[in-house]
Amino acid sequence: MEDRIHSLAHHDCDSGASLQHSCSLDPSIACERERPQEVVAAEKASDSSTSQNGYIHSIETCGTVDGPGLRYVMFLSGCPLRCLYCHNPDAQGKPHGEIRTSESVIKEVLRYRNFIRRGGITISGGEPMMQNEFVHDVFRRAKAEGIHTALDTSGFLGHRASDAMLESVDLVLLDIKGSDPKTYRETTGVALQPTLDFARRLSDLGKSMWIRFVLVPGLTDDETNVRGVAKFVAGLKSVERVEVLPFHKLGESKYEQLGMRYQLGDTPAPTSGQVARCREIFSTEGVTTH
Ligand code: SF4
């Protein structure tokens, strides 16, 4: 997708050999130089006026785990789920906290352009699809700058992701927290089906996906549950990577600070044997895990 957008940008500027040479050095500068100043100014003004507001939870400027390469990771607040192992319980509920415009976010991302040139920007949460228009606008602007985009989502609000929005997403990091509706509701507080529907839609669109499954002893590690996820993932067409993430309690102290009850206090991290067993189940269904 990134290559395609780059080549389109070059094509837009392609009015002569010398210009094409300039484009290959810096497409955005060359494009603006060749176009009437009043057109560029009008577009910039309308770009500012259409800038969307978003509620931000936090930002990590050098993320290494939420997509390929080094990434600018923006965590949005707001989430309708209540995952028992959530690391950001303060992001749950309605979007709240610091407000940023999509325009200001991209300006900041561009300051890290050299660092993230083999990576990109990831929007995570919370559940980013609670603020779908903001996400779309940030990704639209990122793609216009040739930056790789990744959406980290539970898939529960996948119906809010329009096809136009998904056009601006290069990669979806999709958490599938279970295959059994009862286990899924126990783990997250919501229904499983919307996530499965979103995964199938992404597969039909040929959208690149990384699937993530969190292994929690006594909660998601039941063989039927794991095998169900593995079978489902095996049936998807555009999965590039599957990650088994062993449960840990890094977020526990936040619950205390917020006066919330942490229900997994007595749950141990999975042993290496349990993780290996989980990977083996995926493997027997033809799915390689990382
Ligand atoms: S989807 Fe993410 S942010 Fe929302 S409750 Fe679950 S772990 Fe927390």
3 occurs within a structural domain: yes
Distance 17 CA to ligand 1 centre (A): 51
Nearest protein CA to atom 6 of ligand 1, as residue: 83
Q: Identify which of 5-19, 32-46, 55-69 has the greatest average pLDDT.
A: 55-69
Distance 8 CA to ligand 1 centre (A): 37
* Residue from 185, 178, 169 nearest 80 by CA: 185
Mean predicted confidence (pLDDT) in 60-69:
96
CATH code, domain with 177: 3.20.20.70
Q: Residue 100: how many CB atoms within 10 A of its CB? A: 20
Q: Quick: pLDDT tens for 81-114.
A: 999 999 999 999 999 999 999 999 999 999 999 9
Same domain, 73 and 145: yes
Q: Residue 50: its pLDDT value, please? A: 84
290 occurs within a structural domain: no
Q: Quick: pLDDT tens for 23-54.
A: 222 333 333 334 445 544 544 545 666 899 99
Tell me the best of 58, 79, 157, 245 to mutate to test the pocket of ligand 1, counting ligand atoms within 8 Å of each CB and taking the most.
Answer: 79
289 occurs within a structural domain: no
Same domain, 57 and 45: no
Q: Residue 11: its pLDDT value, please? A: 25
Residue 59 has pLDDT above 60, yes or no: yes
Same domain, 67 and 38: no
CA distance 217 to 272: 12
Nearest protein CA to atom 8 of ligand 1, as residue: 86
Residue 124 has pLDDT above 80, yes or no: yes
Q: Residue 252: its pLDDT value, please? A: 92
Same domain, 133 and 269: yes
How many angstroms separate the most distant Cα atoms in the chain?
Answer: 68
Residue 67 has pLDDT above 60, yes or no: yes
Q: Residue 250: its pLDDT value, please? A: 84
Distance 76 CA to ligand 1 centre (A): 11
User: What is the average pLDDT score of the chain?
Assistant: 87
Tell me the best of 188, 195, 245, 260 to mutate to test the pocket of ligand 1, counting ligand atoms within 8 Å of each CB and taking the most.
Answer: 188
Mean predicted confidence (pLDDT) in 164-193:
97
Same domain, 179 and 106: yes
Q: Domain total for the chain?
A: 2
Tell me the best of 88, 187, 214, 219 to mutate to test the pocket of ligand 1, counting ligand atoms within 8 Å of each CB and taking the most.
Answer: 88
User: Which of 34, 49, 64 represents a domain boundary (last residue)?
Assistant: 49
80 occurs within a structural domain: yes
Q: Count CA atoms within 13 Å of residue 133 on its CB side.
A: 5
Contact 60, 152 (CB under 8 A): no
Same domain, 186 and 253: yes
Query: How much is the pTM?
Result: 0.84
174 occurs within a structural domain: yes
Contact 227, 277 (CB under 8 A): no
Percent of the chain residues past pLDDT 90, beyond the cut: 82
Q: Residue 251: its pLDDT value, please? A: 85
40 occurs within a structural domain: yes
**Ligand 1 binding pocket, CB closer than 6 Å:** 79, 81-83, 86, 88, 91-92, 125-127, 154
Can you give the residue range of the structural domain that contains 104?
Answer: 50-284
CA 51 to chain centre: 20
Same domain, 74 and 1: no
Same domain, 41 and 59: no
193 occurs within a structural domain: yes
Residue 190 has pLDDT above 90, yes or no: yes
Same domain, 60 and 30: no
Same domain, 55 and 128: yes
Contact 106, 70 (CB under 8 A): no
Q: Quick: pLDDT tens for 134-156.
A: 999 999 999 999 999 999 999 99
Mean predicted confidence (pLDDT) in 6-12:
27
Nearest protein CA to atom 2 of ligand 1, as residue: 126
Tell me the best of 76, 85, 92, 216 to mutate to test the pocket of ligand 1, counting ligand atoms within 8 Å of each CB and taking the most.
Answer: 92
Find all residues with CB under 8 Å of 82, minimum gap 6, and list them.
92, 188, 189, 190
Distance 151 CA to ligand 1 centre (A): 14
32 occurs within a structural domain: yes
Same domain, 6 and 120: no
Q: Residue 88: its pLDDT value, please? A: 93
For residue 120, list its beta bridge partners. 71
Same domain, 236 and 177: yes
Helix (H, G, I), strand (E, B) or coil at 42: helix
Return the ligand 1 atom nearest residue 189 CA.
5
